[in-house]
Amino acid sequence: VREDDAGRRVGRIVEVEAYLGVEDQASHARFGPTDRNRPMFGPAGIAYVYLVYGMYHCLNVVTEDVRVPAAVLIRAVEPLSGLGAMRAARADTQAARGRRATAIADARLAAGPGLVGIAFGISRADDGRDLCDGTSPLRLERGETPEIVLTGSRVGIEYAPEPWRTHPWRFAVHGSPSLSRPLPRPQRGADGPPLRRTPGVSAGP
DNA sequence: TCAAGGATCCGCT
DNA sequence: GCGGATCCTTGAA
């Protein structure tokens, strides 16, 4: 949920990726604490926002206890309300970059980590924000549990060594029209077997 | 202080 | 399917 001058925007998170521990060689925390990744080492429920490729703000939710760097990257959101504000934000961003406005389907307004940032007006000002505070202008609210969750390897981390490159730590809601890209590996449902813990890792995503 | 490259998106071919 | 945009973060010197 985003509430600001542009209005109220609500969406359902349909795709995420998990990053866990300093040992995760695909995580920003792999170098230990730095000025940028500091929130990852803080308490769960806090936002970690970073700029990627010099252009897009990506939103993460910190998920583990203090000193255990872990976060979930919000890769895609299915717009539920406030679509006008999302479109306006997109138009503003395109104009600021000297691009002409392009058409996009409602379901695709936040279908990617960079697009989530644009559609929900996320910036470094949100870094460190408490997403569990009911009065926060950017916050999480409980939704329904998806029936089928797809898993796959994380995107854009070809630089990482195994086993991190192929850990199935990308999760997506089966059938959502708002996924960032197809996910090839149908997996367990909500009532299926629990996710297997990875050896050497203190806690699962 | 420097050089390298990235948890992406978009427009053109 | 491919390459450009664009700048911050990082490790090394």
Smallest CA–C1' separation from A51: which nucleotide? C8
Lowest mean pLDDT among A9-13, A17-21, A126-130, A181-185: A181-185
| Mean pLDDT, residues A155-173 taken together | 93
- Going by C-alpha positions, the residue among A78, A94, A7, A120 that lies closest to residue A103 is A94
Residue A188 has pLDDT above 60, yes or no: no
Q: Tell me: the pLDDT tens digits for A58-76? A: 999 999 999 999 999 999 9
| Residue A111 in tokens | 């279908």
pTM: 0.89
Q: Please report, rounded to a whole number, the percentage of residues in chain A having pLDDT higher than 70.
A: 89
The candidate with the shortest Cα–Cα distance to A85, out of A52, A110, A113, is A110
| A52 CA → C3 C1’, Å | 18
Question: What pLDDT band is residue A193 in, cutting at 50, 70 and 90?
Answer: very low
Give the nucleotide with minimal C1' distance to the Cα of A28: B7
Of A36-45, A78-87, A100-109, A188-197, the least confident? A188-197
Is any atom of strand C within 7 angstroms of residue A37's beta carbon? yes
Total count of residues recorded for chain A? 205
Residues with CB under 7 A from strand B: A 17, 19, 26-29, 40, 48, 51-56, 58, 60, 71, 73, 90, 94, 99-100, 102, 104, 112-116, 154-157, 159, 180
Per-residue flag: A105 CB under 7 A of strand C: no
Using pLDDT thresholds of 50, 70 and 90, give the confidence band for residue A186: low
What band does A100 get if pLDDT is binned at 50, 70 and 90?
confident
Is the CB of A159 less than 7 A from some atom of nucleic acid strand C? no
Closest-approach nucleotide to residue A114, Cα vs C1'? B8
- Mean pLDDT for A72-85 is 97
pLDDT at A57 over 70: yes
pLDDT for A112 beyond 70? yes
Query: Is any atom of nucleic acid chain C found less than 7 Å from the CB of residue A95?
Result: no
Spatial separation of the C-alpha atoms in residues A13 and A2, rounded to whole Å: 13
Q: How far is CA A131 from CA A43, A74, A148, A180, in A?
A: 11, 13, 25, 23
A150 or A203, which is more confident: A150
In the block, tokens 């990744």 appear at A37
CA of A93: nearest nucleotide by C1' is: B9
| B9 C1' closest Cα residue | A114
Q: Would the pLDDT of A199 be above 80?
A: no
Determine the nucleotide nearest to A58 by Cα–C1' distance.
B7
